[in-house]
Amino acid sequence: TSTGRVSGMKAAAKLMKVFITRRIPQEGMKILAAAEGCEVSQWDSDEPVPRSELLKGVQGAHGLLCLLSDKIDQEVLDAAGPNLKVISTMSVGFDHLVLSEIKKRGIRVGYTPDVLTDATAELTVALLLATSRRLPEGVEEVKSGGWSSWKPLWLCGYGLSGSTVGIIGLGRIGMAIAQRLLPFGVKRLLYSGRTAKSYAAEVNGEFVPLDTLTSESDFIVVSCSLTPETQGLCDKAFFSKMKKTAIFINSSRGAVVNQEDLYDALSSGQIAAAGLDVTTPEPLPTNHPLLTLKNCVVLPHIGSATYSTRGVMSALAAQNLLGGLQGSDMPSELTL
């Protein structure tokens, strides 16, 4: 009928073009598929979109759904053109987005905090224990025949009971890590950051200068955002203040750590061990010096990697995108 044709034309007139930079969990795709007036195109791979394909894919897009491996800078925004009104990232970190350029153009940004807090905190605790109690070394010894008999000091590590834990960045994830570590019998919980947090009282957190945290902690956990202030924060001077028996854990962003300085601290015995869920670059080349060290445990950025968490992140990223396209509320909008 004629009305059918007219409504078809109307729909075509307000079709919003969306580009998704990767395969994402079904939860998010279902939401976008059910949305009216969305023309979705996607880099249909589990591998990151090549830069040239990203620049092609965003052309004329109204909405962009991206991942933390996609650098969204002036070049991408220029390639997208004036239609772009929302960028939705399936991550809590946003250091891959050039916010100054995005703000200049009045583009809204969605991200996925809160939903990945528990999974990331849990993984951080797992990494801390695996590092301090030398689990990967133990597994290797069993497999290689290095396990002969019970020996009093063989594969000894460091325990949390009676220890001092220092958390750099007591935000959502830092707080969740603190809440999980306390029941292990942690004696003191120190934290440093830009400001003292009122909620730190829940974990008996003591707000201290970074130097105090570095020199007094038995375990140091980095869970801050990557900003110009935190870039390269953990360097030679930082590691030299740590106890020789201290364990260093990073599940925030790789660039917070100077990896050459960390290598020196670990190989010289300046600190006891390190566990990293994040590196620079990612993936870390297999011939990287850190991977030759027994006292360094490196994981492939799996902080939020539980099936349910990734599903919820995908759905939230899709809902944020739709909110931005429709000019309505986004469940998790970044204030620019």
Q: Are 213 and 220 in contact (CB under 8 A)?
A: yes
Residue 2, pLDDT above cutoff 60: no
The residue-averaged pLDDT of 287-299 equals: 98
Half-sphere exposure of 184 (CA within 13 A, CB side): 21
Residue 335, pLDDT above cutoff 50: yes
Residue 14, pLDDT above cutoff 80: no
d(CA 237, CA 195): 22
Residue 8: per-residue pLDDT = 40
Q: Determine which helix (DSSP H) or strand (DSSP E) holds 207, and give its type and residue range.
A: strand 205-207
d(CA 319, CA 110): 9
Lowest mean pLDDT segment, chosen from 2-16, 51-65, 219-233 = 2-16
pLDDT digits 0-9 by tens, 200-222: 999 999 999 999 999 999 999 99
pLDDT digits 0-9 by tens, 227-275: 999 999 999 999 999 999 999 999 999 999 999 999 999 999 999 999 9
Residue percentage of the chain with pLDDT more than 70? 96
* Active-site option among 62, 96, 288, 301: 301
Q: Which two tokens stand for residue 98?
A: 């050039």
Residue 301: per-residue pLDDT = 97
Q: Which two tokens stand for residue 310?
A: 């990734």
Residue 11, pLDDT above cutoff 80: no
> Do the strands 273-276 and 86-89 form a parallel or antiparallel pair, or are they unpaired?
unpaired
pLDDT digits 0-9 by tens, 168-181: 999 999 999 999 99
Residue percentage of the chain with pLDDT more than 90? 95
| Residue 301 annotated in active site | yes
Residue 42, pLDDT above cutoff 50: yes
The residue-averaged pLDDT of 55-80 equals: 97
Strand order in the sheet with 273-276: 205-207, 188-192, 164-168, 219-222, 247-250, 273-276, 296-298
Residue 98: per-residue pLDDT = 97
Residue 241: per-residue pLDDT = 98
pLDDT digits 0-9 by tens, 106-146: 999 999 999 999 999 999 999 999 999 999 999 999 999 99
Mean pLDDT of the chain: 95
The residue-averaged pLDDT of 27-34 equals: 95
d(CA 224, CA 65): 24
